[in-house]
A = this chain, B = another copy of it.
Amino acid sequence: MYLGVIFATLCALIALSFAILSIRWVMLQPQGDERMRQIAGAIQEGASAYLHRQYLTIAGVALLPMLGLWHWLGAESGVGFLVGALLSGAVGYVGVLVCVRANLRTAEAARRGTNAALQVAFRGGMVSGLLVVGLALLGVAGYYLVLAPPDPDDFAAQTGALGALIGLAFGSSLISIFARLGGGIFTKGADIGADLVDQIGSGLNEGDSRNLALIADNVGDNIGDCAGMAADLFETYAVTLVATMLLGSLLLQEHAADAIAYPLVLGGLAVLATVVGTFFVKLEPGDTRVLAALSKALTVSGVLAFVLFVPATWLFLPATFIPPGSEEALSRWGVLAAAGIGLVLTGLILVSTEYYTGTDYGPVRGIAKASLNGTATNLIAGLGVSMKSTGAPALMICGAIWGAYQMAGLYGIAIAAISMLSLTGLLVALSAYGPIIDNAGGIAEMAGMDAQVQGVTDSLDAVGNTTKAVTKAYAIGSAGLAALVLFADFTHSMAAGGNVLSFELESPAVLIGLFIGALLPYLFSAMTIEAVARVAAVAVDEVRRQAQEVPGIMAHPPKLDGGRTVNLLTKNAIKEMIIPSLLPVAVPMAVGFGIQWLMGGNAGALALGGLLIGTIITGLYVAISMTAGGAAWDNAKRYIEDGNFGGPGSDAHQAAVIGDAVGDAGKDAAGPAVNPMIKLINLVALLMVPLL
């Protein structure tokens, strides 16, 4: 019957148990002295206040789409939306709570050496990773078990159940875009604000604990790279599972029940592989190759997952099958090869991102060198790198599309996406590792810990920059593939509804859709970047005001009252996240119904199809260029700080600081938010199918 789905549910529960064990382990680590706890307490307080307010606002805004789904598409969709939304929220919430407790424990562990600190930081991040895959799998598989018809071969009932899962995907997507945007705007508003306070001559500077934006900056790191990334990949994971289940049911109609279970089973196996992989993150005393240790875990998990995929494929898929409308038979071997392609793609994207954003290679060093001639050349060099860095990932994705399609048609692309997402747990852990170690460094500095401790956190933090960049590239690449699967769902659902459309490039409706779709990432990013700028200005004004008003703040020792600044930033960031988030919901509806009304015939659906692809295409380029470019600028600054091209304090360093600030808004706010955006648009289109 539904054994595969039950198996996946069990795997999800295993992942969640490991998450709970990891939380326990982290909480039992020593917390350091009074001063450290005081600083960490301020960060915890700020983070809780932010999350509280953010999810309260989201709950209010999300009520309307939930009721809409309930009304138009039935109670199952409405409840699905609620499940997706709540789980996505829980992932971000719990993950951050753990991160802001792992940070000072990491700082304390750094006294005992690099491996000790690495263990605490990585396990802290692993909580988020396990929560993402565990809850996504539990939500999708569990809710499907609730809805699944008693007779697995009842095709109409299966379609209904999958429809309700689209509601779940939509819920997770909408929460994710809010979390990404709100978190991104907050964190970069605070970060740029903190940088600016120094430059505009208030007498305070970034690393100075008197700088009241600093606590906000530390809070922001957590809600951006921990909560934001977790919500982002939760959404990609859940959406891809649902999209592949749906596509499988449409393409393998005679084996629909097994095809629906198959991606869930792959997900369950990948979770087991992930848990095994975590044990390989370890450093021998004296070894400082952190990146190598992390890469080993990824490789072990990936290979193990692939090995486990073989029997699963033989159990759940027929030896050959012919998708409707096609003449060529596809085979189990082909599907397995597509899964392999997804894993290879992951590896290649990680390598290419490391090249474009690592301090060991030409691009970052080129930006650092250009800083010698001033700020303008630093920025021009950075813009060049940011645009160039799109080339390799784009060609790799093209190669993966080609390979997966040759191996197993459209279904191959879906399976490649699923297998790429096998590594989600570890990659979320790598991303959440970033703010933990970054915070640990900040706490060590503010609490005046030994230079040796700061050396340990610094060396781990340098890797954090790269892992954050790598995770973002992975998130975007997988989002692109997931969105293509959603597009295939869209066209096949239209066809299954008797509306076989030809989305031809010559059609003016398709062309108009493509142009408008391609515009969306630009508009969306512009709105996000401008929101960051506004919030940063608020931060600067507040710090200036406090520096003038609070008597003696400049003369006295650190006085950690970041609470006000955090509150102010929270209020502004959450206000700013609403409008851009609604863009991907409103525009597909406007284009679909609007073009239909203007041009008649099937024009609305055709334009919508064009819109989806247009958004995926430019979304990919806009997101990659912003995230990779931003990381390259950041690391160019770091490279100079390591003593190259004049070192810290030189003119080149000053130029690099500005380049870093310019890249920040795109790297951590606008760019990553494009991922949920392109999927949200596709999901909205999918939900519109019955209405078109």
Contact = CB atoms under 8 A, between A and B. Distances in A.
A406 interface: yes
Contacts of A300: none
Interface string A70-98: 00000000000000000000000000000
Contact of A519 (B192, B391, B487, B523): B391
Given A380-B662, A391-B522, A505-B487, A617 B375 contact: no
Given A377-B533, A380-B532, A385-B526, 11 more contacts: A192-B376, A199-B374, A384-B533, A387-B522, A390-B519, A401-B511, A405-B508, A487-B506, A502-B504, A511-B613, A518-B617
A519 B625 CA distance: 11
A401 B514 CA distance: 12
A373 interface: yes
A609 interface: yes
A379 B379 contact: yes
The interface residues of chain A, by DSSP majority, are classed as helix
Contacts of A200: 373-374, 651
B373 A540 contact: yes
Interface residues of A, number: 78
A598 interface: yes
Pick from A383, A514, A532, A598 the residue with the most CB of B within 10 Å. A383
Contacts of A391: 519, 522-523
A597 B445 CA distance: 59
Nearest to A390: B522
A156 interface: no
Pick from A200, A373, A609 the residue with the most CB of B within 10 Å. A373
A402 B276 CA distance: 56
A565 interface: no
Contacts of A516: 394-395, 398
Contact of A537 (B377, B508, B662): B377
B525 A387 contact: yes
- Give the top 6 A-B pairs by smallest Cβ distance, nearest first: A387-B526, A376-B661, A503-B505, A388-B526, A405-B508, A384-B530
A273 interface: no
15 contacts: A195-B376, A199-B374, A200-B651, A376-B662, A377-B533, A377-B536, A377-B537, A380-B662, A383-B666, A388-B523, A391-B523, A394-B515, A401-B515, A402-B512, A514-B617
B511 A484 contact: yes
Contacts of A385: 526
A620 B518 CA distance: 10
Contacts of A377: 192, 196, 533, 536-537
A666 to B, nearest CB: 7
Interface in A388-417: 388, 390-391, 394-395, 397-398, 401-402, 405-406, 410, 413
A658 interface: yes
